[in-house]
Structure 1
Amino acid sequence: MTVSNGRIGFIITLGLLSLCLQVGKAQPTTTGTKPVTGSAIFPKGEKGSAQTFTGTVWVQSLVENDSIYQLVSGSVTFEPGARSFWHSHPSGQVLLVTDGIGYHQLEGKPRQVVRKGDVVKCPPNTPHWHGASADSPMTHIHIIPKTEKGIVRWLRAVTDAEYTGAR
Structure 2
Amino acid sequence: MQITRSSTDTVKGPADWFTGDVWIDAVAASPAPSRVTANLVHFTPGARTHWHRHPLGQTVFVTEGVGLCQRRGGPVEVIRPGDRILFEADEEHWHGAAPNRLMVHLAINEGDADHAVVHWLTPVPDEEYTAAPAVG
| TM-score bin, normalised by smaller chain | 0.7 to 0.9
Q: TM-score, normalised by structure 1?
A: 0.71
Q: Relative to structure 1, is the Cα distance of residues 33 and 72 closer, same or farther in structure 2, using a 3 angstrom cutoff?
A: closer
3-state SS of the aligned residue for 1:147? coil
Gaps of 5+ in 2: none
Q: Which residue of 1 aligns with 2:77?
A: 112
Aligned partner of 1:92 among 45, 57, 73: 57
Q: How far apart are 1:90 and its partner, in Å?
A: 0.3
The alpha-carbon deviation at position 69 of structure 1 amounts to 1.2
Identity of aligned residues (%): 38
* Residue 161 (structure 1) aligned with residue 127 (structure 2): yes
- Counterparts of 1:141-156 in structure 2, within 5 Å, are 141-148=106-113, 149-156=115-122
Which residue number corresponds to residue 82 of structure 1?
Answer: 47
Distance in 1 separating the partners of 2:65 and 2:21: 15
Which is higher, the Rg of structure 1 or of structure 2? Answer: 1
In 2, the alpha carbon distance for the partners of 1:128 and 1:65 equals 26
What is the distance in 2 between the residues matched to 1:32 and 1:89? Answer: 27
TM-score by length of 2: 0.87
Where does structure 1 lack aligned partners over 5 or more consecutive residues? 1-30, 35-42
Q: CA RMSD in A?
A: 1.6
Q: 2: CA distance between counterparts of 1:94 and 1:106?
A: 13
Counterpart CA distance in 1 for 2:122 and 2:20 is 14
Residue type of the alignment partner of 1:142:
A
Runs of 4+ in structure 1 over 6 Å off: none
Count of matched residue pairs: 127
1:122-161 deviation digits (Å, cap 9, x = unpaired): 0100110000001100000011124342200000000001
Distance 1:49 1:146, change over 3 A: closer
Aligned to 1:15: none
